[in-house]
Structure 1
Amino acid sequence: KELEDLIPTYLSNLEKNMQKIAAAAAAGNQDEVRSLGHNMKGSGGGYGFQQVSEIGKSIEEAAKTGDLDTIPAKIKELKHYLANIDISYV
């Protein structure tokens, strides 16, 4: 039940973080992109969203290597994933 209460807030924060990542990537701020990607990598699995963790990891790795041009595609992938998830509580 507790996780059920937390997931909507988590998803809302994730949406905000996607916007922050996009803005940081556009500004060339590798450190912020890396940090936000790292946080996403660490949090997704805890909420049952392993794909969020995997995308977060790929964002973090792209920032580490300076490959910020790939960030918009990764954000698009995450948005697509979130638009198509079906959350059910058992």
Structure 2
Amino acid sequence: MSMDSNDKIIVYVDSDIKGLIPGFLDNRKKDITSIIDALTENDYEAIRIIGHSLKGSGGGYGFDNISDIGRLLEQGAKTRNAIEIRKCVERLSEYLERVKVVYE
């Protein structure tokens, strides 16, 4: 799946967890702000924790891309790589703007 186009990214989610999805996605938007704030403070441990959480939770809700971004974010925090962290923030932000959930 290309992240370069403006096309929507369709994610199929079990309708049993439909009530959880809006809050989950809203919290990921809040994570972006938290990551940027932590980066400003050079708080790489906070970024690592957020990345680890994203890595663990994304796939459980059907958002494998969020898990992938979380893994990269966690690695970037462990190596204190601000450039990689910023790329992850951009990728997560774009993903959240483009994702369209279809319940099945």
Fold shared, TM-score > 0.5 on shorter chain: yes
* Moved >2 Å (runs of 4+): none
Q: How far apart, in 2, do the equivalents of 1:26 and 1:2 lie? A: 39
Structure 1, unaligned stretches of length 5 or more? none
**Does the 8 Å CA contact 2:29/2:96 hold for their aligned counterparts?**
no
Give 1:27 shift. Answer: 1.1
> Which one has a larger percent helix, Structure 1 or Structure 2?
1
State the secondary structure of the residue aligned to 1:88. strand
Larger radius of gyration: 2
What's the RMSD between the two structures over aligned residues? 1.0
**Unaligned runs of at least 5 residues, structure 2:** 1-14
Letter paired with 2:63: F
TM-score after normalising by structure 2: 0.81
Structure with the bigger RCO (C-alpha within 8 Å, sep 6+) is 2
For these two proteins, the number of residue pairs brought into alignment is 90
Q: Percent identity of the aligned residues? A: 36
More moved, 74-83 vs 33-42? 74-83
Say which is worse superposed, 46-55 or 61-70, in terms of deviation.
Answer: 61-70
- Indicate yes or no: 2:40 matched with 1:29: no
